[in-house]
């Protein structure tokens, strides 16, 4: 299995959408814990990195990846 790549500022989709109906989260802090913010209602949550990776479905848009053509 390929490890999912994500970085600061990326917009990611999770396996479960937020109760507000939006399923697009912006990664606003990277570290041992990942802080992400719902792009719909602005609510932010802090998840341990392992938990975040379990819940991550896919990366919708990558902020810092300029190498990709
Ligand atoms: Zn929300």
Over residues 13-24, the pLDDT tens digits come to 999 999 999 999
Rounded distance from Cα 39 to ligand 1 centre (Å): 7
DSSP state of 53: H
Rounded distance from Cα 41 to ligand 1 centre (Å): 4
> Residue 67 — very low, low, confident or very high, per pLDDT cuts 50/70/90?
low
Q: CA 44 to CA 25: how far, in whole Å?
A: 9
Rounded distance from Cα 6 to ligand 1 centre (Å): 20
Over residues 45-59, the pLDDT tens digits come to 999 999 999 999 999
pTM of the model: 0.85
Q: Where are the alpha helices (DSSP H) in 26-65?
A: 49-55
pLDDT of residue 5: 84
Q: Which residues contact 22 (CB under 8 A, 6 or more apart)?
A: 38, 39, 40, 41
């Amino acid at each position: 299995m390929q490890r999912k790549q994500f970085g600061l500022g990326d917009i990611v989709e999770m396996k479960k959408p937020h109760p507000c109906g939006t399923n697009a989260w912006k990664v606003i802090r990277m570290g041992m814990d990942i802080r992400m913010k719902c792009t719909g209602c602005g609510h932010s949550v802090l998840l341990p990195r392992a938990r975040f990776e379990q819940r991550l479905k896919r990366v919708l848009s990558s902020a810092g990846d300029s190498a990709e053509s």
